[in-house]
Amino acid sequence: MYQTFELENGLKVVVAPMEGISSATVLVLVGAGSRYEEKEKAGLSHFLEHMIFKGTKKRPSAFEISSLVDSVGAENNAFTGKDHTGFYIKVNSEHLPLAFDILSDTLSDSLFLEEEIERERGTIIEEINLYEDTPIYKIDDVFYELLYDGNPLGYPTAGEKQTVKKIARQDFVDYAKRFYQASDMVLVAAGKVEEEEIRRLAEKFFLVFPKGEREKFVEFDNGQTKPRVKIYFKRTDQAHLYFGYPTFSFFDPDKEALEVLSAILGGGMSSRLFVQVRERRGLAYYVRTNVDLYHETGFLAASAGLNLEKIKEAIGVIKEEFEKIRQGEVEEKELQKAKEFIKGRTVLRLEDSRLVANWYGERLLLEGKIEPPEEFLAKIEKVSLEDVLRVAQRVFVPNKANLAVIGPFEDAEEFYKIISG
C-alpha cells in the first residue's frame, strides 16, 4: 500500500513499496512541459531536461555525475511531455541516498555551462533531424499540429531547429527558477522502500527547493466545426497516418470507457483494426489506437504505416470501424476481451518500479489525487456495452474528424472527401 506526505516547502512525496524486488526507482516529476512554452522558445523544456545531468556546483561535469551513477550500476534518464517533465534514477535499494542526492543536486543547482549548452544544442538538432527523417515518429507532431493548431499543445516537444538555435543560457536559468518549484513537483520512491527512510531522505535533500506557485497554461478551446486534413509531403515508400477525434480530459468519468473503446479498436493483434486493416487486407505493417488525455482535452486516434497505393482504402476501413462502434456493433465477448487486455497490460507494466513510480507520480501531479491500480482496474471491469456506445457517440462526431498523413501526396481534398463522406 502506498503512503503520501508533504514536505514543509509543499513538495509532495509518494512511497510505493513493492514486494519481491531489490531495486528502487526515485522519480521527480515537474509540472512543466512544452505546453507552457512561448512559440519562439519552443523546445526549451526538452532542452533543459537534456541539460540537467550536465554538471552542478558540487559535481561540475557530466562525466562526474555519470561515473557516480555507473559506480553503483544504476540507471538514470529523463523525459519531457506536453504537461510535465520527469527525472529518475533506478538503483539497488541500498544506494537510495545517492539517488536522492544526485536528483536533488542536479535539479536545484545545475550550472548550465555555455560549452555544454552548445554541445547539447547540436545533439538536439540531430534528434530533430531523426524525427524529420523518420515518419513513424514525425506523424505524431503532424497530428498534434493539426488537432491543436494555434495552442502550445500543438508545438513539437523537441521544438523546431530554428527555435532551439535561439535558446540561450539565461533562458534555462529563468525557466528553472520559474518552474522547478516545490509546489509543482512530486517525488516518488517505488520498489524496495520504506516510508521512514524515504521521509528522512526527502527532508535531507529536497527542502532546498522554494515553494513557489503552480504555473498556468493556455487552455485549448476546441471550436472545430468540420473535418480537417493535414498533409506532410515526403517522398516515402510507406504512408503514415493518424486518423482521430478530440475527446475529453483525464478528469472525465468516461475515461475508462474510452480506454476500453480504444482497446476494442486497436489494442493488440486481435483488435478490430489490426484484423481488418492488416490481417484481412494486408494494407499496413502496423496499425493501433492511441489515447492521450490532458487537463481540458484529449484525443483518440488510429495510427498506421500503410501501403502507398492503398492508403485511401485503409482510411475507409478505419472510418468504417469507427462508425460500426458508434452504431453499437460491439458484442459482450469483445468487450470482455478488451477489458482483460487492459488489465493484463496494466499488471505487466506494474512489475517495473519505474513504471510504478510513473503511475503514482503522474496522477498526483496532474490530477491532484492518486488512483491506485486496483481502483483503476475495478473501474475498467465495470465498463458496460452501454458505456462504450455512449462514449463512441460522444467522440466519433463526423464533423470533428482529423486526418494527418505523411507521404508523397499533395492533394488534401481527396482525403477530405473520404473522412467527411
The side-by-side arrangement of strands in the sheet containing 23-30 is: 3-6, 12-17, 185-191, 23-30, 85-92, 75-80
Q: Where are the alpha helices (DSSP H) in 275-411?
A: 311-326, 332-349, 353-362, 373-382, 385-395
169 close to 54: Cβ distance less than 8 angstroms:
no
Among positive and negative, which fits the CA dihedral 165, 33, 288, 248? Answer: negative
Asked about 351 being catalytic, the answer comes back as no
Going along 81-206, which residue ranges are E strands?
Answer: 85-92, 185-191
| Grid coordinates of 37 | 512554452
117 close to 169: Cβ distance less than 8 angstroms:
yes
3-state SS class at 12:
strand
| Grid coordinates of 149 | 493548431
Site of grid cell 529523463: 78
| Grid coordinates of 381 | 471491469
For residue 97, give every residue at least 6 positions away whose Cβ sits within 8 Å of its Cβ, in sequence order, or none.
Answer: 201
Q: Which residues does residue 244 pair with via DSSP β-bridges, in sequence order?
A: 301, 402
For residue 1, give every residue at least 6 positions away whose Cβ sits within 8 Å of its Cβ, in sequence order, or none.
Answer: 17
The single residue of 38, 40, 49, 386 carrying the catalytic annotation is: 49
CA-nearest of 327, 322, 282 to 302 is: 322
List active site positions. Answer: 49
